[in-house]
Amino acid sequence: MISSIALCVLCAAVLACLMVGSLHLRLNLFLFGIETLFIAGATALTANAHGDASLFLIAAFIAALKALAVPIFLLRTSEKLNVHRDVGAMITPPLAMHLSIVLLALSFFLTRSIPSPEMIDGGWYGAAAGISLLFTGLVIMLTRRLAIGQILGFLVIENGIYVFALTQTLGMPMLVEMGVLLDMLVGVMICGLLVFKIQKSFEHIDVAQLRDLKE
């Protein structure tokens, strides 16, 4: 029977796959917020299962900063830029979503041989979900043309790294986790400012067109 922790991280992995199937930034940000709330829930359940009070604090910060503050900030950024839909690139959203689902299934095969600590409940499912989030984040970054889409892909990859660490090692020390969260928040803010600068300088935030620039 799948544990509550495993169910939370698997739901997060599935929501990430759904993100790939939509080009609407508002929907993508909403799905990312729900995905991160599931990860915060998995953190709280892990804290309750192992009596680690520091993980409760980390779960609260993940929910407040990553699941709420970051999506709201990026949503306001997209509204100020009057950008509501990513034009997509390379492959169509349905094909990209099916690719993410295939990679989710592949993650289970890749992690089957990973030894999971006996004290961690649902470690194998957590490892598969973490690897799947890494794959899905890469797919998002490779199939999106707008800078905001690239930022979302980076955030999904960061979620995957965190889920893998949480479910295989019960997370890193609290100071390390808080430092990573702070760096992530500052990085998103800086990326937001860079997006405004790109829009002002080139009148678009299409990274595919930026690749064509020559000196």
pLDDT, tens digit only, all 215 positions of the chain: 578 888 999 999 999 999 998 888 899 999 999 999 999 999 898 888 878 788 888 889 889 888 998 888 888 888 877 777 877 666 788 898 999 999 999 999 888 877 665 545 567 888 899 999 999 999 988 888 777 788 888 889 889 988 888 888 766 555 566 656 666 666 666 665 566 555 555 444 454 555 554 44
Q: Measuring CA to CA, which residue among 20, 56, 60 is closest to residue 36?
A: 60
Q: Which pLDDT does position 37 carry in this prediction?
A: 95
25 in any annotated domain:
yes
215 in any annotated domain:
no
Q: Which pLDDT does position 124 carry in this prediction?
A: 81
Q: How far is CA 159 from the centre of its chain?
A: 4
Q: Measuring CA to CA, which residue among 50, 35, 36 is closest to residue 3?
A: 50
Q: Which pLDDT does position 215 carry in this prediction?
A: 47
CA dihedral of residues 106, 112, 114, 116 (deg, nearest 10)? 120
Q: Which pLDDT does position 186 carry in this prediction?
A: 60
- Tokens 């990430």, residue located: 16
How far, in Å, are 2, 32, 96, 176 from residue 118 at the CA level?
15, 30, 35, 24
74 in any annotated domain:
yes
45 in any annotated domain:
yes
- Tokens 């969260």, residue located: 181
Q: Which pLDDT does position 106 carry in this prediction?
A: 93
Answer yes or no: are the C-beta atoms of 29 and 153 closer than 8 Å.
no
100's CB contacts (< 8 A; 6+ apart) are 16, 17, 20, 132, 135, 136, 139
Structure token pair of residue 125: 């499912």
Q: Which pLDDT does position 30 carry in this prediction?
A: 94
Q: Which pLDDT does position 205 carry in this prediction?
A: 46
The number of domains in the chain is 1
- Helix, strand or coil, per DSSP, at residue 146: strand
27 in any annotated domain:
yes
- Helix, strand or coil, per DSSP, at residue 206: strand
Q: Measuring CA to CA, which residue among 15, 28, 137 is closest to residue 86?
A: 28
Q: Which pLDDT does position 99 carry in this prediction?
A: 92
Provide the domain limits for residue 203.
Answer: 4-210
A 10 A CB-CB count for 201 gives 8
pTM of the full predicted structure?
0.82
